[in-house]
Amino acid sequence: MWTTNSVVVLLLLLFSLCGDGARAEESLPCIPRDFGHSSFVCVCNASYCDTLPPPEAPPEGAFLLYSSDMTGDRFLKSQDFFSSVGDDVSAETVELVVDPTVTYQTVVGWGGAFTDAAAANILSLSQPAQDLLLGSYFSSSGIEYNIGRVNMGGCDFSWREYTYVDTEGDVDLNTFALQPEDTEYKIPVIKRAEALAGHPLTLFASPWTAPPWMKTNDDYVGYGYLQKEMYQPWANYFVKFLDGYGAEGVTFWGVTAQNEPRDGQVPGFAFNCMGWTPLQQRAWVGGNLGPTLDAHGYGALKVMILDDQRYNLPLWAEKVLNDSFATQYVDGIAVHWYGDDYSPAGLLDDTHDLFPDHFILGTEACAGYLKDPVVLGSWERLEQYAHDIITDVNHWVVGWVDWNLALDLEGGPNWESNFVDSPIIVNQEADEFYKNPMFYALGHFSKFVKEGAVRISLTSTDLQGLSATAFTNTDGSTVVVLLNRSEADLEVAVRVAGRGTMLLKVGPRSLHTAFF
């Protein structure tokens, strides 16, 4: 029976035998492990992890295809050539038309959250394994995330309840202090991720709650709002946070006004929250947060409202952004995915049409939040991720940010036991980590569709269960992503204006990225 270590040794031996013919940019393959679910994970440890070097431009008239499927492939690379085929395809062929001259939104990027739990799990591994995990997300041999979300103070994926000013009545914030969760966990991990990426990350911060003494219910959790007399101290708290991270060498691109403001309107809500109505958020952003950020040199920071489910749209945006004073301080609308199964994507179109100058960014998603927190090797969760990303971007969303970068085998730590799944699961005892299929779902976008890319037209009369989207990068390369959630083999013809036709055999339960 092959063990992980024996496979690693064999692979390393094979690469060494290639001598000068083995190039540094060649990818290292997945080492699969089956945990008895629909697919498998890829196992990484202190000495080995699968990689995906940046794609090189294919020869004239050719395209690259990267494929992952339920039964065996992860980023399997192949090359083929455009065909000049006309309309003589079979009646069963799925025909797609890509028109790069018709353009939509500009991409901000892709990423995940540097939560307390994620940072602790990463740091629980040996140093070499930590580097390989962070490199899997952020380096040029990984899937090249460019966005990171950071919890401002404690959240449910912390191991305790805390804020930065838990001193009762300290309205001047004299006792404000970053916590060990920041200085010993998140900040060091963020800085290492940026070093591996070779550039600063697009970071944004989100608060879960103000200090209890600032709130109407004097608690971290449950039904409660920010007291009106605390509007300005709470805005000052944001500046203190930004200054504190800045002093540690970490700079933010944006903030959200509140994580899931609807949670704090729910009696008995179980973990860190604070309630806002859209009118309250409008008053605070326009009267306190925006002017305070401007006054302290943070006027360029991207401020996002909502940071909650899209079923709140477009009403939430209308209530905030139809106020001329508040809207001047707001750049974007942040949405989560948890209600997407019962709220139509057309709500995103409606919101964009009303406020085309404000971007819409997907800021949180995870699987396993209803039941079965960690399912190692779940292909269904890859399909949920990929389908949601394609749906979102086809309806004006500029990027998609996953929740925890890494969790443990239970789906934590989480002080409230609100365990969920993650694209990477850490096994501290074995000093290894597992790349779930969800990791590859994200990589099919983040590796190839770069910041600044523009979504382009992709149309079809009958997708036959296929999901698809297309982009043009700033370097002129084009990316087409295809998801087949059906059990059928599909013949697909992708007609690209000015290029020709890609004739593809898209296998069942598979995800593909074409690059040219």
> Is 210:264 a contact under the CB 8 Å cutoff?
no
> Is 366:358 a contact under the CB 8 Å cutoff?
no
For the chain, the first-to-last Cα distance in angstroms comes to 41
Alpha-carbon distances, residue 300 vs 290, 293, 398 (angstroms): 10, 9, 19
**Residues designated catalytic:** 260, 364
| C-alpha to C-alpha distance for 441 and 75, rounded to whole angstroms | 10
Between strands 424-427 and 432-435, the pairing is: antiparallel
Cβ-based neighbours of 132, under 8 Å, separated by 6 or more:
44, 45, 46, 48, 49
| C-alpha to C-alpha distance for 278 and 55, rounded to whole angstroms | 44
159 backbone φψ class: left, alpha, beta (φ>0; ψ -120 to 50): alpha
383, 444, 2, 7 alpha-carbon torsion, rounded to 10°? -170
User: How many Cβ atoms sit within 10 Å of the Cβ of residue 366?
Assistant: 24
Sign of the C-alpha dihedral computed for residues 351, 353, 357 and 362 taken in this order? positive
Strand order in the sheet with 76-81: 76-81, 62-69, 510-515, 478-484, 466-472, 454-459, 94-106, 490-496, 500-506
Instruction: Identify whether 278 is preceded by a cis peptide bond (ω within 30 of 0).
Output: no
Tokens of 165: 């000013």
Half-sphere exposure of 261 (CA within 13 A, CB side): 21
Tokens of 353: 């049409």
> Is 184:243 a contact under the CB 8 Å cutoff?
no
| C-alpha to C-alpha distance for 373 and 131, rounded to whole angstroms | 26
Q: Is 280 helix (H, G, I), strand (E, B) or coil?
A: helix
Q: Where are the alpha helices (DSSP H) in 62-150?
A: 116-123, 127-138
> Is 201:111 a contact under the CB 8 Å cutoff?
yes
| C-alpha to C-alpha distance for 394 and 352, rounded to whole angstroms | 12
| C-alpha to C-alpha distance for 76 and 512, rounded to whole angstroms | 9
User: In the chain, what's the furthest Cα-to-Cα distance?
Assistant: 76
Amino acid letter for position 277: T
